[in-house]
Amino acid sequence: MAFSVSTDFIGRGLGFVVYHGSWSGSGVSEFCGNQCSFESTIGDTASQLIYGTSGTYNSGSISCPKDTTITWRAAVYAQCLDQLKHGNYSNDKTYADTATFPTGLTPGTPTTTTCPISGSVIPNTVESVGTVTAEYRIQGTSTWIVGPTVATGISGLGSQALAGTLTALTPATIYEARYHINRNTTNSQDAYSAIGTFTTQASTPVVIGPPVMDLNLDMPTPVLVINTIPLAPILALVMDIRFEMLVPTVGSATTRVITRVVLIGGAVERNFRMS
């Protein structure tokens, strides 16, 4: 069997890693010694003397920087063969601290359908980046509604300001809101801010009153006109219809106009008089 070495897998925790490797075909006897170690961009490990023609080994816990990519590989020197072999390189990112929201989510002054929000976040990343969105729900309900994205591509260990506006809200309603950060780290646990509460304003009722009509009568002074058609020598139907209307004149006095229509034998007699 040919002598070979494998870079197997990395175990990770917050601030530490554990390398794992293996070898096979290092000799013809179980008494062959093997110097096993790991090479890494954060420092090589001390070698371990392990006997056997094949086996596995690990580095134990090694302190490491957070949110940093480590390049590493297994290395084994087979004493019986006087050969040094390596496994392939592996590139793995270490864990990052959980992101935090020092000031939570602070609502501004809401309108009937919107509410400004503000706050801050510490991404706690070195190489990775994160995205922060706002979420909201009506108080007493369980489902969070995804709102606007307030930050993208953020990273670092310092505090960064957040600001945005929630829209399409319902008037006179109590809401809860929070920030949510998603990071592309290895331990990509999400983090949420403390909840902020606000109440949207009530809608102003629209009052529709009765229609207003401004009637302005400006009528000329009536003139007496008599139009008489000769009566035919037949029995006539006489109808007396009176219309009265008060017409404003100068001062506070009014003029009463009376219209009289008399139907006589199919002809019409219009008789106007004033009183």
Q: Which string of DSSP letters, residue by residue, matches the chain?
A: ---EEEEEEEEEETTEEEEEEEEE---SSTT-EEEEEEEETT-PPPPEEEESSEEEEE---EE--TT-EEEEEEEEEETTTTEEEE---EEEEPP-PPPB-TT-EEE----SS-EEEEEEEB--EEEEEEEEEEEEEETT--PPEEEEEEEEEEEESS-EEEEEEE-SPPTT-EEEEEEEEEE-STT---EEPPPEEEEPPPPPPPP-----------PPPP---EE--PPPSS-----EEEEEEEEE-STT-EEEEEEEEEEETTEEEEEEEE-
* Shared domain check, 87 and 50: yes
- Residue 105 and residue 136: Cα distance in Å, rounded? 11
- pLDDT for 262: 45
Q: In this predicted structure, what is the pLDDT of residue 187?
A: 85
Q: How far is CA 235 from CA 88, 232, 263, 264, in A?
A: 132, 8, 12, 8
Domain end among 181, 199, 217: 199
**pLDDT score at 221:** 52
Of 68, 93, 118, the one marking the end of a domain is 93
The answer to the question of residue 215 being in a domain is: no
pLDDT of residue 214: 52
User: What pLDDT is attached to residue 98?
Assistant: 94
- Domain presence at residue 254: yes
Q: What pLDDT score was predicted for residue 231?
A: 44
Per-residue pLDDT at 218 = 52
Average pLDDT of adjacent 10-residue blocks, the chain of 275 residues = 94 96 91 96 96 96 96 97 97 95 96 97 96 98 97 96 97 98 90 97 77 52 48 44 47 46 46 46
Where in the sequence is the domain holding 57, given as residue range(s)?
4-93
Task: Measure the CA angle with vertex 62, ends 61 and 67; round to 5°.
Answer: 115
Report how many domains make up the chain: 3
Same domain, residue pair 114 and 192: yes
Whether residues 120 and 186 fall in one domain: yes
Q: Supply the CATH number for residue 26's domain.
A: 2.60.40.10
Q: Is residue 207 part of a domain?
A: no
